[in-house]
Amino acid sequence: MNFDNNIPIYIQLVEYLKKEIILGKFKIGERLPSVRDLALLLKVNPNTMQKALIELENQKLIYTERTNGKYVTEDKKIIDKIKNNYAKELTNKYFFNMKSIGFNEKEIIDYIKELEANNGTIRMY
Amino acid sequence: MNFDNNIPIYIQLVEYLKKEIILGKFKIGERLPSVRDLALLLKVNPNTMQKALIELENQKLIYTERTNGKYVTEDKKIIDKIKNNYAKELTNKYFFNMKSIGFNEKEIIDYIKELEANNGTIRMY
Amino acid sequence: MNFDNNIPIYIQLVEYLKKEIILGKFKIGERLPSVRDLALLLKVNPNTMQKALIELENQKLIYTERTNGKYVTEDKKIIDKIKNNYAKELTNKYFFNMKSIGFNEKEIIDYIKELEANNGTIRMY
Amino acid sequence: MNFDNNIPIYIQLVEYLKKEIILGKFKIGERLPSVRDLALLLKVNPNTMQKALIELENQKLIYTERTNGKYVTEDKKIIDKIKNNYAKELTNKYFFNMKSIGFNEKEIIDYIKELEANNGTIRMY
DNA sequence: GTGGTCTAGACCACG
DNA sequence: GTGGTCTAGACCACC
């Protein structure tokens, strides 16, 4: 993980793990690695990881089984809903930002097509 | 201004002022309001505003005339370049994020069209 | 059993078993199921159940016959006394808490009557 | 503050502060003492206090003004709602517990009256 | 070994 | 000085 110094690490962890779950890299109902292991894996302090996981639990994406570990929710609807909200948020934010530097909707779409045509594919950020 | 508590204010100010300049709300060569006034206007501490303006100056979007105040650059190319970089960065970031939750390029474009069809317009974020 | 994650399980087991005895679901002098079976029944670890039973034994509600198992006390007075203490404790605690959010005694009693009137019965917690 | 060792301190802090707000000891819109001062006052670690305050903020009972401090919500409705939920929860829990040791509703109310008659007032817990 | 809590102490952004 | 974040490390309940 490369962390952006301007954003709290635990928030970046939340985003990262949320994506892993949405993408199914952590499957529905699957047990997550232990807090300590996740912390080691992503090279953060266990408390920081804990804080991120509490946030994911608040969002119902994971739940805790006492002394057994943490599991991805078994409710596919929650995951789908979060995925949809996320997509909508990203898209609205993108259009908002593009408009705020002077693009209108048609221009945005043209811009995307042009980028695609030039690159074959949109370059990864 | 509504600030996101998770990102330093001065960075959000940089983004905001950059957009104002790109959009021409602060025109080429125009004198900016005083640091003090800008701070009052956006309800931030003058120190914070000062920090943001230094960053804009580093990016050559504004320059300082000693004792006279700060001015928007007179070099239109710089502004255009920053606008283009910004658009490219926003678009790449958007595609990167959408892909990271499982959309491919075609699906992203379909998603945008669908949103547009439903809303008439993309809702402001 | 649904356990409250914020209170040690063995304490919740003590409360639960105490109630069962007070209610006579485990009768005076009756032999309790084995620790192992009780643990299975309530889906806790046998060690945890053992700890709860030790506490009940300290309170003289049960006693152990070596190699034979654990029995509910044969002294009805102990059970009655614990029931009365419990009722008093619950009631005092309830009044204390209600007062600590601004109800006086009259208001508490009015509140109870009102709830009863609305529900027919007080809803199970 | 006397803390119950069997319940996490931060939860007891949440309960305590919630009551103070409901009772109006911290008034609507009033600025709370700083996190550090509250921690000193109640003799807990600042991080523990911080955790409690985050929970209160999640419940919308307080809000944070960047660098200025934390304030009691200005929305009286939220406070009233929390007070009512709290009273209902306490009452339901009380009746549930009393029933679980063999009292029916009439007996509970008789019991309260009897306690009142004997004590003049219900003894503080 | 698992998650959860707590303390101590440092550092940062902002005013 | 304010809140917020992070690390390090200890201890606890439970399995």
Query: Tens of pLDDT along B81-91?
Result: 999 999 999 99
- Flag whether pLDDT at B37 surpasses 60: yes
Instruction: Using a CB–CB cutoff of 8 Å, tell me whether A112 touches chain B.
Output: yes
Q: Which helix (H) or strand (E) is C113 found in, with range?
A: helix C105-119
pLDDT category of residue A115 using cuts at 50, 70 and 90: confident
Instruction: Using a CB–CB cutoff of 8 Å, tell me whether D112 touches chain C.
Output: yes
Helix (H, G, I), strand (E, B) or coil at A3: coil
Q: Give Cβ neighbours of residue B58 (< 8 Å, ≥ 6 apart).
A: none
- Flag whether pLDDT at A123 surpasses 80: no
Q: In Å, how far is B44's CA from the nearest CA of chain A? A: 18
Average pLDDT, chain C: 90
Nearest to B125 among A96, A116, A125 (CB): A96
Q: Which helix (H) or strand (E) is C62 found in, with range?
A: strand C62-65
Residue A122 and residue B95: Cβ atoms within 8 Å? yes
Higher pLDDT, A66 or D82: D82
Determine the pLDDT at residue A122.
59
Average pLDDT, chain D: 91
Q: How far is CA D123 from CA B121, C80, C90, C106, D64, in A?
A: 65, 21, 12, 15, 38
pLDDT category of residue C5 using cuts at 50, 70 and 90: confident
State residue C65 phi and psi, 5-degree precision.
-105, 115
Determine the pLDDT at residue C125.
47
Q: In Å, how far is D41's CA from the nearest CA of chain C? A: 20
Helix (H, G, I), strand (E, B) or coil at D51: helix
- Flag whether pLDDT at D32 surpasses 80: yes
- Return d(Cα A113, Cα A58) in angstroms, integer: 39
Instruction: Give the CA-trace dihedral at C47, C48, C52, C53, to 10 degrees.
Output: -30
Nearest to D125 among C87, C92, C103 (CB): C92
Residue B100 and residue A19: Cβ atoms within 8 Å? yes
Select from C32, C94, C92, C34 the least CA-distant residue to C62: C32
CA B117 to chain centre: 28
| E strand residue ranges, chain D | 62-65, 69-72
Determine the pLDDT at residue D115.
84
- Flag whether pLDDT at C32 surpasses 60: yes
Q: Which helix (H) or strand (E) is B10 found in, with range?
A: helix B9-22
Q: What are the chain C neighbours of A64 within 8 Å (beta carbons)?
A: 5
Helix (H, G, I), strand (E, B) or coil at D65: strand
Determine the pLDDT at residue C115.
84
Which structure tokens are listed for A11?
Answer: 């928030």
pLDDT category of residue D123 using cuts at 50, 70 and 90: low
Determine the pLDDT at residue B118.
78
List, in sequence order, every residue forming a beta bridge with B69; answer none if it has no partner: B65
Q: What is the DSSP string of chain A?
A: -PPPTTS-HHHHHHHHHHHHHHTTSS-TTPBPPPHHHHHHHHTS-HHHHHHHHHHHHHTTSEEEETTTEEEE-S-HHHHHHHHHHHHHHHHHHHHHHHHTTT--HHHHHHHHHHHHHHHSSPPP-
Q: Which helix (H) or strand (E) is C48 found in, with range?
A: helix C46-58
Q: In Å, how far is B67's CA from the nearest CA of chain A? A: 31
Mean pLDDT of the region D87-91 = 94
CB B101 within 8 A of CB A83: yes
Instruction: Using a CB–CB cutoff of 8 Å, tell me whether B23 touches chain A.
Output: yes
Q: Is the CB of B56 under 7 A from strand E?
A: no
Nearest to D101 among C83, C94, C105 (CB): C83
What pLDDT, in 10s, does the model give residues C68-101? Answer: 889 999 999 999 999 999 999 999 999 999 999 9
- Return d(Cα B62, Cα B17) in angstroms, integer: 10
Instruction: Give the CA-trace dihedral at C62, C68, C69, C73, to 10 degrees.
Output: -20
Q: Is the CB of A58 under 7 A from strand F?
A: no
- Flag whether pLDDT at C2 surpasses 80: yes
